Every structure is written in C-alpha cells, then in structure tokens.
Amino acid sequence: MNGHVLEMALVFGAKLILNTDAHSPDDLISDKDANKFLTALGLSPDEIKAIFRNSEDIVTHLKTRQK
C-alpha cells in the first residue's frame, strides 16, 4: 500500500476497502490478518471498522441489484 495514497484517501474521505487480489481461495486472508495489516498501516480501530463495513456495503448493494 502506498502511504501517500492512503493519507490522501483519508484526507478526502474516500471509502476504502481491502483487496487481496485473490485468484484462488489460498490467496484470501482472515479478518484477523486483515486487522493486523490495517493496524500496521497506522489505521485506527474505527477506520478499520469502516473498511470492513464498506466491503459489506458493496456486497449488499450487489445482492440487491441481482433481484
């Protein structure tokens, strides 16, 4: 992750998600590992919760579009 891009995203209020660019199930990471990674970037617990919530919002939006 580019620290400058992260900083600018936070400054401008961009909605962030964590993407592993997974190509197989083995590429996925657990919530615990995601939390460790995001914490290491210097994000607060509230910012990390927002990232998970943003991902959930995308899935919810896509599910409602399929109906």
The pLDDT tens digits for 6-44 are: 999 999 999 999 998 999 999 999 999 999 999 999 999
Question: Is-contact 18 34, C-beta < 8 A?
Answer: yes
pTM for the model stands at: 0.85
Domain residue limits, the chain = 3-21+28-65
- CB count in 10 Å sphere of residue 48: 19
